[in-house]
Amino acid sequence: MKRHYFISDDLDDLEIIETQLEDNGISTPQIHVLSESDGDVESHHLHDVNSLMKQDVVHSWEVGAVVGVGAALLVLAGAYFTGLTATAAGWIPFIFLAVVVLGFCTWEGGLFGLRKPNIHFKRFEEALHAGKHILFVEVDPGQETLMAGVLHNHPKLQPAGTAAATPRWIIVSQQKWRAFIESMP
């Protein structure tokens, strides 16, 4: 899947675009609007970017996990090279300490990410501060012509690049969850 970014200053137009995309087979979990005016996005019934996705939690969590693996390896190497593993305690306390260090570093990375904007949206900060909105659509290769056909009729929409999209299995899970919730009495 590929993520396509577009910049717009017209939420009414984005509402029409989202409806047209959905009518042409692109599902709601594939369409997002990023804006500093969350209330306006919600009042236009657009699929907004959730607050957790606006922060850099996942990326920082991954960085924390990498640091944690390194720190855990240092704990284990330190225990081995100092000869502490040859005592009656053996490896168990050091393995436990390494797991705790890994968990702590990963957790701290995620907390650190709560204070930073998502690394993928950083390039749009200037446009967002200027009151514009970012539409991004995640499509399979077979859906690109559908998307292009819909967006061709909206000249005010400015293309702003592409990036790797959310994995397909996550979008399918969101679609199934939405269908399940809508089928509930």
Q: 10-residue block means of pLDDT along the chain (185 residues)?
A: 90 91 87 87 84 84 96 96 90 96 96 87 88 90 87 88 80 81 82
| pLDDT in the model for residue 164 | 81
Structure tokens at 49: 């970017």
Query: In this predicted structure, what is the pLDDT of residue 184?
Result: 82
What's the confidence (pLDDT) of residue 61? Answer: 92
What is the per-residue pLDDT for 120? 83
pLDDT at 42: 85
pTM listed for this prediction: 0.73
Between CA 72 and CA 99 the distance in angstroms is 7
pLDDT score recorded for residue 119 = 84
pLDDT of residue 6: 93
